Amino acid sequence: TAGITQAPTSQILAAGRSMTLRCTQDMRHNAMYWYRQDLGLGLRLIHYSNTAGTTGKGEVPDGYSVSRANTDDFPLTLASAVPSQTSVYFCASSDEEADTQYFGPGTRLTVL
Partner 1 sequence: GQNIDQPTEMTATEGAIVQINCTYQTSGFNGLFWYQQHAGEAPTFLSYNVLDGLEEKGRFSSFLSRSKGYSYLLLKELQMKDSASYLCAVRDRDYQLIWGAGTKLIIKP
User: How many chain residues touch partner 1 (CB under 8 A)?
Assistant: 17
End-to-end Cα spacing for the chain: 36
Name the residue nearer to partner 1 (CB basis): 72 or 102. Answer: 102
- What distance in Å separates the CA atoms of residue 47 and residue 60, rounded to the nearest whole number? 8
Q: What does the per-residue mask of binding to partner 1 show for 37-56, with x meaning CB under 8 A?
A: ---xxxxxx-----------
CB of 105 to partner 1, least distance (A): 5
Rg (CA), the chain: 13
To partner 1, the closest distance from the beta carbon of 95 in angstroms equals: 13
Q: Which stretch binds partner 1 (CB under 8 A): 17-25, 61-69, 77-85, 103-111?
A: 103-111
Q: Is 102 in the site for partner 1 (CB under 8 A)?
A: yes
What contacts 108, CB < 8 A, 6 or more positions away? 9, 10, 11, 88, 89
Which CB atom, from 2 or from 14, has the smaller least distance to partner 1?
2
Task: Report helix, strand or coil for 87.
Answer: strand
